[in-house]
Amino acid sequence: MAAVQIALDFGGFGKSAVTREPRMLRAFAPEPKPSVAEPAPVLLSASSTGGTLDKQLLETQLRAAVDAPLRVTITDNRRTMISLRKRPGFTELRLHHMFLTADAEIVRALGDYVGRSDRAASLELGRYIEAHRARIRRRVTRPLSLSTSGVHHDLLAIYADVNARYFDGKVEARVSWSREPGKGPRASRRTRRRSIKLGSYCSRERLIRVHPALDAAFVPRFFVEYIMYHEMLHHMLPPIVRGGRRQLHDRRFKEHERAFPGYQAALQWEREHLDRLLAI
């Protein structure tokens, strides 16, 4: 049986906090019962249980609200705060641990959301998640490992020289080989590449990367300078959007690129030596 999941996705700002497939409303809607007056269940809250709800107590209350076999799993997810997945013989409700400190109103909203897909409950749960976003574990960003010294070319020295000569020192970016020269995997004849990306620029990291294939004795410095110049232009001339399309190399970019003194020589050298670069 294919799993059907609904979720409160914390990554989707500006949209409804809860999404649910219509099939779920029919699958988990409680069957009509005779109109018999029954005492309303007593909802526990974090304040009445010493600050934290017991998972089993929460599961018991939600089972009654859904009127179907239900199991609660507590998670530490970063994006999905609530998800509902159909399993053989039961339904799994996955909740972020922030709901273990929920009050009675939020517990009731969970029951209404899971049992009846109540829109008001959906909005209330969305507000609760927003108010407790500090409890969501943040993604750990690993520091970038930069490598600039090659066997034949020093990227940092080339960057500083190109920046001073053509940009008046105004480019503020970082540079690195895309992997450490001499330690990357080499392509065999059977897996020989058909194309190669000699440089790239990431605006979010303000990072210029140069392919280590250019750190070879037959590659002249002026060609590495041209690749560096090209990527530095991307830093200085952000892409424009026209007709809904993002243009990296618009007319203004090409005009500045052709201003590089060794532009034509660099293109000719690339055409003549592309096979050797692809073989590295």
pLDDT tier for residue 176 given thresholds of 50, 70 and 90: very high
112 and 23 in one domain? yes
pTM above 0.75, yes or no: no
167 and 62 in one domain? no
pLDDT tier for residue 149 given thresholds of 50, 70 and 90: very high
The pLDDT assigned to 51 comes to 54
pLDDT in tens, 221-236: 999 999 999 999 999 9
Tell me, yes or no, whether 140 lies in a domain.
no
Tell me, yes or no, whether 119 lies in a domain.
yes
Q: Name 71's bridge partners.
A: 92
Tell me, yes or no, whether 146 lies in a domain.
no
Please provide residue 83's backbone torsions phi and psi, each rounded to the nearest 5 degrees: -145, 150
Minimal CA–CA distance to 188: which of 270, 278, 275? 278
Tell me, yes or no, whether 149 lies in a domain.
no
162 and 78 in one domain? no
Tell me, yes or no, whether 147 lies in a domain.
no
Tell me, yes or no, whether 88 lies in a domain.
yes
**3 state SS of 69:** coil
DSSP 8-state assignment for residue 78: S
The pLDDT assigned to 258 comes to 96
Range of the domain at 270: 155-279
252 and 177 in one domain? yes
Largest CA distance in the chain: 89
- In the predicted model, what is the mean pLDDT of residues 199-221? 94
263 and 180 in one domain? yes
9 and 131 in one domain? yes
- In the predicted model, what is the mean pLDDT of residues 76-98? 88
Please indicate whether residue 83 or residue 54 has the higher confidence score (pLDDT).
Answer: 83
- In the predicted model, what is the mean pLDDT of residues 27-55? 51
166 and 119 in one domain? no
Lowest mean pLDDT segment, chosen from 26-35, 82-91, 242-251: 26-35
The pLDDT assigned to 59 comes to 84
Domains held by the chain: number = 2
Q: Inform me whether the pLDDT recorded for 255 exceeds 80.
A: yes
pLDDT tier for residue 157 given thresholds of 50, 70 and 90: very high
DSSP 105-157: HHHHHHHHHHHH--HHHHHHHHHHHHHTGGGSPPPPPPPP----B-SS-BHHH
The kind and range of the H/E element at 87 are strand 80-87
Q: Which two tokens stand for residue 254?
A: 């090409």
Among 83, 100, 135, give the residue marking a domain's end.
135
pLDDT in tens, 101-118: 888 888 889 888 888 888
The three-point CA angle 57-62-64 to 5° equals: 100
Q: Inform me whether the pLDDT recorded for 163 exceeds 90.
A: yes
The pLDDT assigned to 61 comes to 78
Tell me, what CATH number does 238's domain have? Answer: 3.30.2010.10
Q: Across all residues in the chain, what is the average pLDDT?
A: 79
Please indicate whether residue 245 or residue 124 has the higher confidence score (pLDDT).
Answer: 124
Tell me, yes or no, whether 169 lies in a domain.
yes
Among 80, 102, 135, give the residue marking a domain's end.
135
User: Do the Cβ atoms of 44 and 104 come closer than 8 Å?
Assistant: yes
% of the chain surpassing 90 pLDDT: 42
Minimal CA–CA distance to 110: which of 158, 62, 151? 62
- In the predicted model, what is the mean pLDDT of residues 115-139? 88
The pLDDT assigned to 65 comes to 76
123 and 239 in one domain? no
Please provide residue 23's backbone torsions phi and psi, each rounded to the nearest 5 degrees: -60, -35
126 and 179 in one domain? no
Among 102, 135, 168, give the residue marking a domain's end.
135
The pLDDT assigned to 243 comes to 74
Distance CA 180, CA 247 (A): 31
Which residues make Cβ contacts (< 8 Å) with residue 230, sequence separation at least 6?
199, 257, 260
Distance CA 5, CA 21 (A): 8
178 and 261 in one domain? yes
170 and 118 in one domain? no
The pLDDT assigned to 29 comes to 38
Lowest mean pLDDT segment, chosen from 23-32, 83-92, 204-213, 227-236: 23-32
What is the number of other CB atoms lying within 10 angstroms of the CB of residue 274? Answer: 13
Q: Name 209's bridge partners.
A: 176, 200
Q: Which two tokens stand for residue 173?
A: 């970016």
Distance CA 268, CA 145 (A): 33
Tell me, yes or no, whether 224 lies in a domain.
yes
Q: Name 72's bridge partners.
A: 93
